[in-house]
Amino acid sequence: MTNLEDRGHLLTEQINPNSRYLDQLTALELVDLFNQEDAQTLAAIANARTQLALAINITSKALRQGGRLFYVGAGTSGRLGVLDAAECPPTFCTPAEMVQGIIAGGAGALVRSSEDLEDKAQDGETAIAQRQITQLDVVVGITAGGTTPYVQGALQAAKSRGATTIFIACVPAEQVNTSADIDIRLLVGPEIVAGSTRLKAGTVTKMALNILSTSVMVQLGKVYGNRMVDVAVTNSKLRDRALRILQDLAGIERHEAAVLLERSGRNVKLALLMHWTRLEAEEGANLLEQHQGNLRQAVTSYQQSE
């Protein structure tokens, strides 16, 4: 595709009839219109539920086997991928390399426009090669309009290396097809400001990435019930959260939770295991490792061995 090709047929580029008189609306009418349009994001996620579930299962399996998850995008799509990747280590205590965001233009593109760089498919291919992506990895290409050369180049390069590929776009398959292994279409319709895909398309993409990464981490045993038991205790807010998790799940007082947290090396998951099994930190850590960090499986295994 060249820069001169007419993209007006794409759903993300079409004119929204509901916002035809946008520049004449009051502030309250603007808020109501945005609210009305954003409701379409929920329907879009619901319509993509099967493909999202498949992506979750495949990605969980890949990461469990030592693979990595990569998000690739340009502009808003790239920033959303980098954001989701950056939030995994503090939330789930994952190593930085497990989930990574790749954006056209690199780190500088996070804070300033570099949309011209999305037209270079070769740059996307190079990004995949630089990260030595293999058949163990999962690469998610994010492009609202579906045509971004940088993303297309990255997906093709990843596929040639045997990686699992996932395509996320906000246009129907008949407008832009894909050879990716999993095809996720988030159809929210034309934007309030025609072509401004940082709006509904950006919102629904963030929702999809939230679902994907969080569900993968749940399947990897990064939560217990609905608690963030793999939280990285790196500041006062997160220490408070860790203490409250220990208080609630272990049924102990805050001062006891503080002692237990320190004994575990500030590892909430290990602290809970130590409390429930009376194992020391080293023994508990070994038991968790045997169960790939899954607290529930580790506790059940210990109880069955008693």
Q: Could you give the CA distance from residue 138 to residue 143 in angstroms, rounded to a whole number?
A: 16
| Mean pLDDT confidence for 92-121 | 87
**Annotated catalytic residue within 87, 115, 256, 283:** 87
pLDDT in tens, 132-164: 999 999 999 999 999 999 999 999 999 999 999
| pTM listed for this prediction | 0.91
Helix %, strand %, coil % of the chain (to 5): 55, 10, 35
Task: Quote the tokens at residue 51.
Answer: 């493909």
What lies within 8 Å, CB to CB, of 143 at 6+ separation is 73, 74, 77, 151, 152, 167, 168, 169
Sign of CA dihedral 293, 296, 297, 298: positive
DSSP secondary structure string for all residues of 91-130: HH---TTTEEEEETTGGGGGTS--GGGGG-HHHHHHHHHH
Beta strands in the chain (DSSP E): 69-73, 99-103, 138-142, 164-169, 182-185
State which amino acid sits at residue 59.
T
pLDDT in tens, 265-284: 999 999 999 999 999 999 99
- Cα pseudo-dihedral 254, 256, 257, 263, rounded to 10: 150
- Give how far Cα 274 sits from Cα of 36, 78, 226, 284, Å: 50, 41, 20, 6
Q: What is the pLDDT of residue 210?
A: 98
Nearest to 94 by CA among 251, 223, 210: 223
Active-site residue, 253 included: no
Q: Taking a C-beta distance cutoff of 8 angstroms, is the pair 204, 198 a contact?
A: no
Q: What is the pLDDT of residue 2?
A: 43
State which amino acid sits at residue 236.
S
pLDDT in tens, 164-213: 999 999 999 999 999 999 999 999 999 999 999 999 999 999 999 999 99
**Annotated catalytic residue within 13, 37, 118, 125:** 118
Strand partners, 169: 185
Active-site residue, 87 included: yes
Contacts 24+ apart (CB under 8 A), 49-52: 51/182, 51/183, 51/184, 51/185, 52/184, 52/208, 52/211, 52/212
Task: Quote the tokens at residue 31.
Answer: 């808020």
